[in-house]
Chain A
Amino acid sequence: MTAAAGSFGAFVAQARAAGRLVVQPRMGFSDTATSRAGLLATKRVAATTVGTLTIDSYTRVGDVAAADRALAAGVPLNGFPIVSHGAERTAAVLDGVRDTGFPVQVRHGSARPQEIVRTSLAAGLTATEGGPVSYCLPYSRMPLREAVGHWSRTAEILAAAPGGGAHVETFGGCMLGQLCPPSMLVAISVLEGLFFAQHGLRSVSLSYAQQVDEEQDEEAVHALRRLAAELLPGVDWHVVVYTYMGLYPKTPHGAAAVLEASARLAVRSGAARLIVKTEAEAWRIPTIAENTAALRLAAEVAAATRWADADPDPADTTVHTEARALVMAVLGLADTVAEALPEAFRLGYLDVPYCLHPDNAGRATGEIDPTGRLRWADTGSLPFRAGPATAGRGPTSTGLLAALSHLQRRYDRVPATAGAVDRPVLGVQMTITAPGPTTTQPGYLPPSPPEHLASPVTRAALRVQQQVLTAARSFLAGEEFIELLPPVIGPVTDPGVRGSKQLDVDYYGHRYKLMTSGILYKQASLLAFDKLFFIAPNVRAEPVETCNTRRHLAEFHQIDVEISGGTRADARRLAERLLVHVVRHVLRTAGDELTALGRDPVVFAELLREPFDVLTHTEAVAALHDLQYPQSADAEIEWEGEELLSHKARRPFFVTDYPKGSRGFYDRENPERPGTLRNFDLIVPGGYGELVSGSERESDYATIVTRMRETGENPAKYKWYLDMVRDGIPASAGFGMGLERLTRFLTGLDSVWQVNAYPKVPGLVAP
């Protein structure tokens, strides 16, 4: 159905037919002069605009007396007190401003809007917005049935307006602004649209508030259009998109980027109107100039974006399937939407995550999944089920904060332009928006030392690393571990390092080695202390082909821990607790650095839930075979396989029981399962791979000598070590946690060299 000529609906339809997106501010001032100036400024923007009168919060909750008093005393309100001003004064504000080329809409937020609507209509304002659910549950304690009653009467008043009735926009596409999965937003918007249509309104708009994933948002608007086409025949309707309504970016570039994304969303998904936000949003009520700047930017971006096809995408996306299930389940409850809505909330068919209203069931929860989409964490009593992997899990308080600020952090990160021209390498890093590293990039290598050291990325990463060191030391000291300073050279060093070569130094005519790990000295130090650790520099001439794995450095550091009399379980549990402690500390103390690096703390929410999962080597090999990866069952997990498992994981996990040939002689063989080791690796999610390697140690002299021979080592070389072992050393367990790898995981940087001040990438000669 086409809208009545000269109406709000007709204005939007004409713009849509001409390929222009209608843009509209959220503007509201208490005095008439500023209100008029704001409307005129909106009208003069070189774009297709609609004016807005947003009502103040006293009027919106029905406390007109308080609005009267504020007005009389000259105290500014946070919106236009339309009832206090009255229809005549309001009409005077609009005189000569509003016309068929510039409609004005009243926005209010009231669960009992009759007075506001009557005054609006008397002033000739026939476009408004709201809804029985969307203005009750999030902002009011009014029982839902009562709000439905008030909105029924309001809809009747609006339907009887002269000129074929008024236009009403549903606010159902917002619902708390964030963390409500899109299918629920679409369903409530459709149901409120149907509610208005059943009360005789012939022109409605259906809202959808931008969420956290651009592709998912497009699917949601297509789903909304598809359901409207199916369920609102004979009604003039269009879709209105709201720029993000949750925690808004604080930087000008971040605020502009979200606004631009919302304009692209509106055009690409076939919405007709966009309600913008400004760069002042995170701080205060925006000025007229900030509003008009936002309108101009949105219109420019919209004009440069290709429109969606006239018909909505017929694909059965998850959003569409879930939203349709919700709408149909509700419509099946009663003859009218007005009767069905309170019942649907009582049964939990409709359930808004985190909404504390007494009439909301509060069993369903939403979360941001590792790919950045909003999904159901728990579907409660909704008429469908989400994947079993997530059902029944709510967030932690830390996880909730991370999820709430997910979009803000993503857009507030350092802009892509900083240094991108002369530092193409960093430019690539900075523009990555997906969490975690992407593909290996040949040539992705350190710049010159001065450039590397001066880079804001390096400096932020090193500040994070400082917090890692602080946290690790205080945690281990608290557990009564003593820190020893490691040796740098010795007659022998750890041979059990896959593929890498040892580097020699001439020590008074003897060929000494640079330490590849501190293992031999850790075992020796057990003669002095029961619990000890090094933060040790290690040098390993890794094979040149590891220069592109992004997690190898020829010179690096380990947090190297050993526990006298410890078991593998003790070492594993300590590694787990150490990691969780470091992550918590860094989130608390280096939030600014993580934000600047674009690292979203939401990725750590899963990690903070101990204990981590455990896979045996055999199970890891089977998992790789399932992924079509040809991993040998008798060998070390290959780099690519490890990275693949890491990408598939949501949480850190241990791999245990490696085959004997894959590690050094000091890792103890399992007496119950000969051929396998009592060892473990810890793999972190997101493609960052192995972070920790550890084991129970072999302390028996004869066994060590045998194991040395099996691995091709000459026991004679290890004289000082074997002499000591023969005299007796304690049994122990321990691990090494890679410091640069840990810092890279925390910062989310693409390559491990980025977190080292003086990086030596395997095969490259560097200072």
Chain B
Amino acid sequence: MARYRKSNINPKRFDRSQIKIILIILPLALFMLLPIVFIFSHAFKPMDELFAYPPRFFVARPALDNFYKLFKTTSTSAVPIGRYVFNTLMVTLVVVIGSVLISTFAAFALSKLRFRGKFTLMEINNAALMFVPVSVMIPRYLIINALGLIDTYLALILPVLAMPVCLFLIKQFTDQVPDSLIEAAYIEGASDFKVYQKIVLPLIKPAVATGAILSFQQVWGDIMSSAYYISNETLRTLPFFMNTLTSISNTIAGQGMAAAAGLIMFVPNLLLFIILQSNVMNTMAHSGLK
């Protein structure tokens, strides 16, 4: 049955009935590809093309100048670049895993367990969702300062762990998990945690993946928290370093390096997404969610 269904959804052979769909999808897909093409072509543009007027979208004579310049500048910095890479990787890993765990826990409880105040909690989360993140910057700093977390990794990790968007998305998906499945598990003697681990988590995989991507994005490109909570250069993250590189050196030379840095910062995003999407989207058709 499962195999039949899979072949039904993803046909191996090309069929004439697919032509009209592809005719609509393909041009739009080209537009969707524009920003990525732009990042790549921008990074390989030599100096004169970067400032050409009118600005050109595609690179005419690709060159590696920008990357050479970038690596030359990084090698002169006081802290080796490996340190920044390590910091970023560690912080990102902890935040993505932590925030997904926290959000799925909370979503499971808020959606499927009964206790007092759960609707209030959800309302609070929704209210926090609407709020502009910029405005809590200063109170957040004061709290981190009061807790003595300035100049630690925790200052980079803790503030972003509870992501309202993540919880909101995952909770809405958890609501769709049928209660009968969970009840069946309880009757078989499963504990709450077992139900969470064996039933809810596999069923909400797409939401988990989306949440993971969103939280990854938030941490990966985060310049603010490195700038405000950390004054020790060895604890700062890669995006902050890239940002300083391109703004310290004069702006004209910085442009090329910024383009190259942008590409370097973008590639992990791309890889993560491709890995996650192939894992997640294909399992969805077979889940028991109806």
A binds B: no
Q: List chain B positions with a Cβ less than 8 A from chain A.
A: none
